[in-house]
A and B are shown apart, each in its own frame.
Chain A
Amino acid sequence: MKPKLGFFDFTGCEGCQLEVLNFENELVELLEHVDIVNFREAIAEKGENYEISFIDGAITTESEIPRIQKIRQQAKILVAMGACACLGGVNCLKNFRPMEENLKIVYGECAGYYNTIPARPINAVVPVDYYLPGCPMNRHEFIKLAKALLLGKKFELPNYPVCVECKLAENVCVFEKGGFCLGLVTRAGCNAICVTTGRRCWGCRGLVDDPNTNSEKEILQKYGLTVDDILKQFSLFNGYYPEVSK
């Protein structure tokens, strides 16, 4: 029996679902090993007999809470895909001001038609078994997890900072160029793609476990920074977490 997969979107841009459709080379092969029974963006059928569920998007309305609880009840394995599902993501920027004010800014005098609650990641509502962080999630990490699940093997995310991957990519350090970068405390796994493309790290993959003990302390010292200074800049994708400045 092939395992049955369901894909479900909550509040987000659906870019992570799109990344699944972007496996041009692997998609046909993947379909030989699994049955996709629910994937609203791509298929008309709506099967409820899925065993593994992939969730993208954050929870931002009351009605999304029972919906994710139902999915959790059905699925043996629940995977959070992307920054919105894993961390709350950019949606949490709205948490920095009262919900009434957000409604007023966007809907003006019609604000009363609608409602919204502070944005939160999936694991603030139901337990999550695996995380595929990033904005968007990394396609290769998705394939790695899919293979691990199919073969019953262990899957773990790297627990070292983007800085390590950046050095391997032989990038010039963003601090060296006079910029500011969150790669010092952000979980690796993206191959430092944004710094490699000439930008900096915005922390979309979230913090490494225990950022205070990480090996990049000497770089922090060199530029006269502390871990707390860095955390303050984490609000773009990590606004849900109390250690991030609001």
Chain B
Amino acid sequence: MTQLNINVRHVTRIEGHGNIIVNAKDGKIEQITWAIPESPRFFEAMFRGLSYEDVTWIAPRICGICSIAHSTASIQATEAAFGVQLSEQTMLLRKLLYHAETLQSHVLHFYFLAAPDFLGVGSVFPLVNTHKEVVLRALRLKKLANDLADLIGGRKTHPNSCVVGGFAKFPEVSQLKTMQQRLSQAIGDLKETVKLFKGLEIPDFIRETEYIALKDPKEYAFISGSIASTDTGIAAVTDYLNITNEFCVPQSTAKFSKHNRDSYMVGALARFNNNYSQLLPEAQKAAEELGLKALCHNPYMISVAQIVESTHAVEDSLRLIDQLLARELKEEKPDVKVKAGRGIGAVEAPRGILFHDYTYDDNGILIEANCVIPTNQNHNNIQKDMETLVPRIINQPQEEITHMLEMLVRAYDPCISCSTHLLEVKFV
């Protein structure tokens, strides 16, 4: 009879620390646990008493990989609290900057963190010798995304030009034109990426779950819209606490979430499942070629959804630059009047829907903060996937089961650093 004793301490090629524990005796499963031992960071506590300028300056430090998402959520929460009106130019620039991070993070994930599993190596580094073209293409796409972030946001990691009410620095027209040329060339690299992933064997594992993402009637949503669920429809951003329902589990410093079922998923696949019809044409084509159809219930397809979204990000960046060039860039001064109040910022980080919820006093000093992180919302779904997957593959060798579980965790692209510092606890 099957004996299993899997204890993967600190899964590699993910952002942050996560452990997988599976025990089975005589074919009977005794324990399946996805545990997060990451050191908690206490941002919600650290924000208290800081001015809005300092809060929005350190919020990106929640996560180095999705610092633009945290910066944007933090700034938008503050703008909502103060009732700041944004110009059309600010929204165009903000969306453009946002695409840079989506592209950068997705490329990093599917080439550097996920692809080595499919190509049978431990990391992207040995591929320099065997698949140099693949590595150079990945680096080219990553550099493009980083350069776009530098151009609009000042720098990729912890952007410094985005401020409450707008931007502190603006790109030159000539820089935007050069960037546009490079983005057009990247469409070719993304087509090659589709070809590469088309040839890889994605594990066939289906478990139905609920998918939650932002939805905007005007476009495939990243930084605007309401909350959409494939189970329960649309909800206002201000109702987010009724969706996220965070709770603590002793094995993890990260909090867990559930809504309509035992668990739900956020991220590229959840966005695709809610908003696929709003993808731009090249992205639609990529989805078709890769066999991704909504509703897709296979978590291993998250990487595929990321490739589709990367194509969308590049296509939409081209459109946004067209619009910026057509209307002439102006150096707009942010118009911010501080007032007491509460505001919620909701954005789609690369790994899924992210909420920052701030309450400020009359002087713009933060009184209370709550941040709900995408990876936290996924932890419970990862746990439930494992509980369904292990019995189905229990007769395979232990190494194979371990590998499948590690691949599953990596598919979610968990970002654990940012998931360990939640807010006020909600009990379920």
Interfacial residues, chain A to chain B (CB-CB below 8 A)? 10-19, 21-22, 24-25, 27-28, 31, 36, 39-46, 60-61, 64, 89-91, 93-94, 97, 101-102, 105-110, 113-114, 116, 135-136, 193-194, 197-199, 202, 236
- Are the C-beta atoms of B41 and A91 separated by less than 8 Å? yes
Minimum CB distance partner of B147 in chain A: A24
- Are the C-beta atoms of A19 and B248 separated by less than 8 Å? no
- Are the C-beta atoms of B65 and A15 separated by less than 8 Å? yes
Per the CB 8 Å criterion, the residue count for chain B at the interface is: 64
- Are the C-beta atoms of B168 and A197 separated by less than 8 Å? yes
A16 CB to nearest B CB, Å: 7
A219 CB to nearest B CB, Å: 22
Known A64-B39, A94-B46, A199-B161: A110·B64 in contact at CB below 8 Å: no
Would you call B92 an interface residue if the criterion is a C-beta within 8 Å of the partner chain's C-beta atoms? no
Would you call B279 an interface residue if the criterion is a C-beta within 8 Å of the partner chain's C-beta atoms? no
> Which residues of B from 262 to 297 have beta carbons under 8 Å from A?
none
Interface string of B28-69 (1 = CB under 8 A from A): 000000000001111011101010001001101111110100
Contacts of A64 in B (CB 8 A): 39
Contacts of A19 in B (CB 8 A): 64, 157
Interface string of B11-30 (1 = CB under 8 A from A): 01111110000000000000
Known A42-B113, A199-B168: A18·B40 in contact at CB below 8 Å: no
Would you call B72 an interface residue if the criterion is a C-beta within 8 Å of the partner chain's C-beta atoms? no
Interfacial residues, chain B to chain A (CB-CB below 8 A)? 10, 12-17, 39-42, 44-46, 48, 50, 54, 57-58, 60-65, 67, 108, 112-113, 116, 122-125, 128, 135-136, 139-140, 142-143, 146, 154-158, 160-161, 163, 167-169, 248, 250, 253, 417-418, 421-425, 427
- Are the C-beta atoms of A105 and B39 separated by less than 8 Å? no
Scoring B61, B108, B112 by chain A CB atoms within 10 A of each residue's CB, the highest score goes to B61
Number of A-B residue pairs having CB atoms within 8 Å of each other in the complex:
166
- Are the C-beta atoms of B123 and A45 separated by less than 8 Å? yes
Contacts of A109 in B (CB 8 A): 425, 427
Contacts of A13 in B (CB 8 A): 60-65, 67, 417-418
A-B contact list, 21 entries, CB within 8 Å: A13-B60, A13-B64, A13-B65, A15-B61, A21-B108, A24-B139, A24-B140, A25-B143, A28-B128, A42-B123, A44-B13, A44-B123, A64-B39, A90-B61, A94-B45, A102-B45, A113-B250, A114-B253, A199-B154, A199-B163, A202-B54
Minimum CB distance partner of B251 in chain A: A113
State the CA gap A167–B42 with chains docked (Å).
Answer: 37
- Are the C-beta atoms of B146 and A90 separated by less than 8 Å? no
State the CA gap A207–B113 with chains docked (Å).
Answer: 37
- Select which of A11, A40, A202 is within 8 A of B39 by beta carbon: A11
- Are the C-beta atoms of A15 and B158 separated by less than 8 Å? yes
State the CA gap A64–B41 with chains docked (Å).
Answer: 14
Known A24-B146, A42-B113: A116·B139 in contact at CB below 8 Å: no
- Are the C-beta atoms of B142 and A24 separated by less than 8 Å? yes
- Select which of A15, A194, A202 is within 8 A of B157 by beta carbon: A15
- Are the C-beta atoms of A108 and B424 separated by less than 8 Å? yes
State the CA gap A35–B233 with chains docked (Å).
Answer: 51
- Which 10 residue pairs across A and B have the least CB separation, nearest first? A15-B64, A198-B168, A43-B123, A108-B425, A110-B248, A24-B143, A44-B122, A93-B46, A197-B154, A13-B64
- Are the C-beta atoms of B39 and A61 separated by less than 8 Å? yes
Minimum CB distance partner of A104 in chain B: B45
- Are the C-beta atoms of A27 and B139 separated by less than 8 Å? yes
Contacts of A43 in B (CB 8 A): 12-13, 122-123, 125
Scoring A17, A94, A107, A108 by chain B CB atoms within 10 A of each residue's CB, the highest score goes to A107
- Are the C-beta atoms of A18 and B64 separated by less than 8 Å? yes
B278 CB to nearest A CB, Å: 30
A153 CB to nearest B CB, Å: 26
